[in-house]
């Protein structure tokens, strides 16, 4: 009479069969929720990984730019320093020009120190970003291995459920044939 219940089962067998089906459904639901949870975690880790990659790339570009600027500033400082040394041999009438060169050199040295400080900070940030990237790669790998293990477990559970369902279907078909033979 019930479409999902095999005919000819005693009430106790029907209850057992219904309980069995509920347990199987609960297992499948739990497995599906676990798989969805792993997918969400992997997606979140991939987003974090992409963001870290972008930050690292920006830090590396900044460090290279700061390094080039520091080299150019150093060359300029060296050039001003040579001009200052040459200027010291000039006559007393050139002292005003010499003072301007000295002030320019001081500012340029301060600029070089500032650029070098920025470069040092950029290198520290790049090192941190690299460390974070390595840690996140290890975390992604661990989640991937867990997901692969759980996927294998889920596949085995599903295959087991299929095999159990097929065996029960064959058993029920045999019972139906046997009961069908007794009715005639």
Q: Mean pLDDT across the chain, nearest whole number?
A: 85
Specify the 3-state DSSP secondary structure of 77. helix
- The CA-atom distances, in angstroms, between 32 and each of 22, 27, 138, 155 are 15, 9, 25, 11
List Cβ neighbours of 52 (8 Å cut-off, separation of 6 or more). 129, 132, 133, 136
Mean pLDDT, residues 43-47: 93
The per-residue pLDDT for 181 is 63
- pTM for the model stands at 0.31
Of 108, 110, 86, 109, which is closest to residue 98 (Cα–Cα)? 86
Provide the 10 A C-beta neighbour count for residue 1: 4
The per-residue pLDDT for 25 is 95
Distance between CA atoms of 70 and 76, rounded to whole angstroms?
10
Local confidence band at 113 (pLDDT 50, 70, 90 cut-offs)? very high
- Does 183 score more than 60 pLDDT? no
- Does 31 score more than 60 pLDDT? yes
The per-residue pLDDT for 3 is 47
Mean pLDDT, residues 50-70: 87
Angle at 55 between CA 57 and CA 73, to 5 degrees: 60
Distance between CA atoms of 64 and 119, rounded to whole angstroms?
8
Place of tokens 């970003």: 129
**What is the tens place of the pLDDT at every residue in 134-156?**
999 999 999 999 989 989 898 98
The per-residue pLDDT for 4 is 64
**What is the tens place of the pLDDT at every residue in 61-107?**
888 888 888 889 889 988 888 876 776 666 667 777 778 888 898 99
The per-residue pLDDT for 5 is 66
Structural tokens at position 55: 């930050």
> Are 44 and 138 a contacting pair, CB within 8 Å?
no
The per-residue pLDDT for 1 is 39
The per-residue pLDDT for 146 is 92
- Does 2 score more than 90 pLDDT? no
**What is the tens place of the pLDDT at every residue in 116-131?**
999 999 999 999 999 9
List Cβ neighbours of 31 (8 Å cut-off, separation of 6 or more). 154, 157, 158
Mean pLDDT, residues 7-22: 87
């Amino acid at each position: 009479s019930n479409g999902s219940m095999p005919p000819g089962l005693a009430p106790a067998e029907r209850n057992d069969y219904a309980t069995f089906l509920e347990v199987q459904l609960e297992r499948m639901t739990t497995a599906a929720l676990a798989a969805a949870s792993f997918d969400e975690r992997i997606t979140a880790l991939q987003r974090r990984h992409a963001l870290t990659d972008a930050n690292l790339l920006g830090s590396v570009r900044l460090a290279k730019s700061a390094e080039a600027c520091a080299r150019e500033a150093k060359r300029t400082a060296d050039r001003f320093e040579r001009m200052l040394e040459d200027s010291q041999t000039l006559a007393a009438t050139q002292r005003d020009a010499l003072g301007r060169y000295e002030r320019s050199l001081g500012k340029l040295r301060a600029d070089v120190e500032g650029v070098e400080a920025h470069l040092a900070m950029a290198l520290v940030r790049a090192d941190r970003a690299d460390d974070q990237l390595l840690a996140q790669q290890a975390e992604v790998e661990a989640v991937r291995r867990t997901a692969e293990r759980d996927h294998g477990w889920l596949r085995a559970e599903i295959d087991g459920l299929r095999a159990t369902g097929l065996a029960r279907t064959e058993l029920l078909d045999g019972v139906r044939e046997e009961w069908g033979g007794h009715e005639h």
